[in-house]
Chains A and B, each alone.
Chain A
Amino acid sequence: MPEVATGSIKAALRRIEPYLWEIPSSFDPAMRVPARVFATARMLEEIIQDRALLQLVNVATLPGIQGAAIAMPDVHEGYGFPIGGVAAMDYETGVVSPGGIGYDINCGVRLLLTDLHDAEVNKWYPQLAKELFRKVPSGMGKGGKLKLSIKELDAVLNGGAPAVVKMGFGTETDIQYLESFGCIDFADAGAVSARAKERGKNQLGTIGSGNHFVEVDRVEVIYDHAAAKALGLFHGQVVVLIHTGSRGLGHQVATDYIKTMLHSLDRYGIRLRDRELACAPIQSEEGQRYLRAMAAAANFAWANRQVVTAEVREAFRALFGSDVKIRICYDVAHNIAKVEEHDVEGERKKVVVHRKGATRAFPPGHPEVIEQYRSVGQPILIPGSMGTASYVLVGAPGSMKRSFGSTCHGAGRKMSRRKALKTVRAAELLKELESEGIYAQAGSMRGLAEEAPIAYKDVHSVVDVVDRAGIARKVAQLRPVAVIKG
């Protein structure tokens, strides 16, 4: 199938709601549904600078896609699927595409709440950054302290975060505050290759590199006091964000299954514009096996964030004593496929929702929101860049109508890594951050420069769009005070 030109996308875009734009399915004969993007007019100008919307149009051509291919305001060019995209596929007739989940399966964010107040501990932030850097392994290919046998690794792949709680990393209560309780039950370690296990076996409890981090924040602004109270947030509170995923194990699972699905495309009569959209019918052997492997990698990621949580607790206790209380607020996946039920054109349908750089955003009252938060909606954790701010939101009713219960996942990159490297000097960046009271520790100066705030879109605008579009609601803004990067 030939690709369409980027320039023509701009002309095709029309506003259908104040913060929602559409490329109609008539734009391209191969589109099965429209492509939609949440943005302001100004943001859209930035979004069309790369090939993100072109990629979204390609997603709209996939078999079994329902409603629309959707992009969030933090969308940017990826490979195959754009980053910041949502695609729901009919469970019976649709396809599952590993590229629609991404290589870092269940990359996600966890928010930890401490009982410490900024005013009590802010003089310790530089030491806290160092202590966290010591306790949480980060960086390229860095292994953790936990070396698992294949049998133990299989238990983690099948059992997720609860499996590592049984090994002593955290408590049963922790599990209550994780999306899907930290485990997808149809996971099958047997569907994960020996290579994936080899890459992942020493990586539990490590954050890796790239945009992954552990960040200490203080609660800077509260927008919704009732929701903040329900989530356990208070002004000035010291909290911790953990951003990491399934590490080498997940990367290998995606690599393995994209290759498998490329081989089976002809058999299922699937034609693609981009091989990174490689897919198989959900009900096929390849589709089912991938979903089981993806679930296993997702479980590994939840277990990973659980072990990192234990390391963070250790670091805090080393500095502030064993009395310090740290509980999990919530843990969200932003690279994952979930089997869910949604209303599609008046009909209740079972779908596989692909979220690649997008977060689930279930509204108040949804049965899958944990009981403790059901009255306010599912918490959504939006990390910004290390020098700006992060946000806590909750799901809003509009998400079920407009975005298959989904919202944005972060600020979204706007500058290439290479350009960031040319523009930013890491040593100066460290000084600048410090002058603003943000203490950073990084394994690689290059990695730090690549992740400089200048490389990211304005997180405030991104969050404002999803709030105003009615798919999520702002609860609190967090300000970074200490950042650990790989």
Chain B
Amino acid sequence: MPFWILPHTADVRLRVEASSVAELFAEAMRGMMEIVLPGFCTQTFPHCRLVEQDVRVQSVDQSALLIDFLSEVLYWSQVQHAVFCAVRFQQLDKVSLQARIEGCEVEQAFEEDIKAVTYHESFIRQNPSGRWETVVVFDI
């Protein structure tokens, strides 16, 4: 599995690992959505109302870019009551990105209300096996 939910006293700590930076961003997004509505992104929903949203993010560095990207997805998820399971990057470098996020508007209540995506402990790095990894802490 590309993401794992780890213990945190009050909030949720997610560890993400992927073979590329783009994949890391995509898996972190799916990991966040797994917290919001478990199992949704691994199922197929033929009747769901599709939602697409263009996003642009600019940040101080790559780790901040991931957090700011997730904050952007969280915002759209909350105002559209949607779960975003896919992302297509038109541009992604160390401090900026342009992408289209794709998902479903959902009827059911979210399982978890993420207040915010925090920068705490987030640090994107390549591990000894060459895979990209980071931790993300969500305020619940």
Contacts and interface: CB of A to CB of B under 8 A. Distances in A.
B8 A274 contact: no
B120 A446 contact: no
B19 to A, nearest CB: 26
A248 B68 CA distance: 17
Contacts of A275: 64, 119-120, 122
A154 interface: no
Interface in A404-419: 413-419
B118 A77 contact: no
Contacts of A418: 5, 7, 12
Interface string B18-39: 0000000000000000000000
B119 A262 contact: yes
A139 interface: yes
A79 B115 contact: no
B113 interface: yes
A15 to B, nearest CB: 24
Interface in A430-468: 443-444, 446
A461 B64 CA distance: 40
A417 B140 contact: yes
B139 interface: yes
B61 to A, nearest CB: 9
A212 to B, nearest CB: 9
Interface string B51-91: 00000000110001000100100010011010000000000
Interface in A248-262: 248, 251-252, 254-255, 258-259, 262
Most buried by B among A262, A274, A417: A417
A292 to B, nearest CB: 20
A340 interface: no
Interface stretch (B42-50, B104-112, B126-134): B104-112
Given A199-B75, A255-B116, A275-B64, A139 B109 contact: yes
A255 B7 CA distance: 23
B64 A248 contact: no
B10 interface: yes
A229 interface: no
B93 interface: no
A252 B75 contact: yes
B75 to A, nearest CB: 6
Contact of A77 (B10, B110, B115): B10
Interface string A26-66: 00000000000000000000000010100000000000000
Interface residues of A, number: 46
B9 A414 contact: yes
A37 B10 CA distance: 19
Nearest to A75: B9
A318 B132 CA distance: 58
A236 interface: no
Interface string B90-106: 00000000000000000
B137 interface: yes
Interface in A85-134: 99, 102-104
A348 to B, nearest CB: 35
B135 to A, nearest CB: 11
A140 B109 contact: yes
B118 A141 contact: no
Contacts of B116: 103, 251, 254-255
A185 interface: no
Contacts of A139: 109
Nearest to B64: A262
A444 B109 contact: yes
Contacts of B79: 198-199
A14 interface: no
Contacts of B59: 259, 262
Most buried by A among B68, B79, B118: B118
A413 B10 CA distance: 6
A34 B111 CA distance: 41
Contact of A141 (B71, B109, B137, B139): B109
Contacts of A259: 59, 64, 68, 71
Contacts of B64: 259, 262, 275
Contacts of A276: 118-120
A263 interface: yes
A78 B119 contact: no
A255 B59 CA distance: 13
A210 interface: yes
B140 A195 contact: no
B110 A140 contact: yes
A486 interface: yes
A192 B8 CA distance: 30
A199 B78 contact: yes
B111 to A, nearest CB: 6
A484 to B, nearest CB: 15
A102 B139 CA distance: 9
A461 B93 CA distance: 51
Ranked 8 nearest A-B pairs via Cβ? A79-B120, A275-B119, A140-B110, A79-B118, A103-B116, A276-B120, A209-B113, A416-B7
Given A83-B10, A255-B71, 11 more contacts: A77-B10, A78-B11, A80-B119, A140-B111, A140-B112, A141-B110, A209-B113, A251-B139, A274-B121, A275-B120, A416-B10
7 contacts: A78-B10, A252-B75, A274-B120, A417-B10, A417-B140, A418-B5, A444-B111
